[in-house]
Chain A
């Protein structure tokens, strides 16, 4: 059983389109995250949700809108895609934030290519 699953794995789309990425975790974790990894492998946090509540919104353009229908799911919708949005997007989850001492469990990533 996959602990954190993301779909789709690959996404190729044209500039200006709207697309969504879905994430689900079956670990019973309270907190979920979206990270963006650029071509230089830099992992940058975008959003963090704890029990469906938005905790971190890291100055991400308004075109990116996360949604957490329940604590096991965190989706990411992107409007008006731009070339610079091309990256690998990772979903992750953890038990109640980091301070308690649990590492993140990452999904396998969604490679988004905007052409």
Chain B
């Protein structure tokens, strides 16, 4: 079955440093979504990427979807303490069900003030 791998599992940075998490799928994706889960909270939808090579920005966050639609990345510029949380990618298999989003295991970001 489809697998979505995410690295690194953990990342600790000093406030102001950049952060990147990478996501790789074993199958070609129809689209990929990113979520953020604060400690003790629930996942919150950030963005969806659909097109091959797509790049989207949300303030200090930059999201990319690979040309082959099998990988994606999230980059945060100049991290702040409010960025702390677990970032999940979630992919929809292009040949699979419309209703089955497969999540990566997440990257836990901690920020030292």
Q: Given A41-B86, A98-B92, A99-B30, verify A56-B100 contact (CB < 8 Å).
A: yes
- The reply to whether A98 and B105 contact each other, CB–CB distance below 8 Å, is no
Contact of A98 among B42, B43, B98, B106 (CB under 8 A): B98
**A-B interface pairs (CB < 8 A), number:** 71
- The reply to whether A41 and B48 contact each other, CB–CB distance below 8 Å, is no
The secondary structure that dominates the B interface is strand
Cα separation A8 to B78 with both chains bound (whole Å): 38
- Chain A residues near B (Cβ < 8 Å): 31, 33, 35, 40-45, 48, 50, 55-56, 58, 90, 97-99, 101-109
Identify 24 residue pairs between A and B in the complex whose beta-carbon atoms are under 8 Å apart, listed by A's number. Answer: A35-B103, A41-B37, A41-B86, A41-B106, A42-B106, A43-B88, A43-B90, A43-B103, A44-B103, A45-B102, A48-B99, A55-B99, A56-B99, A90-B42, A98-B33, A98-B92, A98-B98, A98-B100, A103-B33, A103-B35, A104-B43, A104-B45, A105-B45, A109-B42
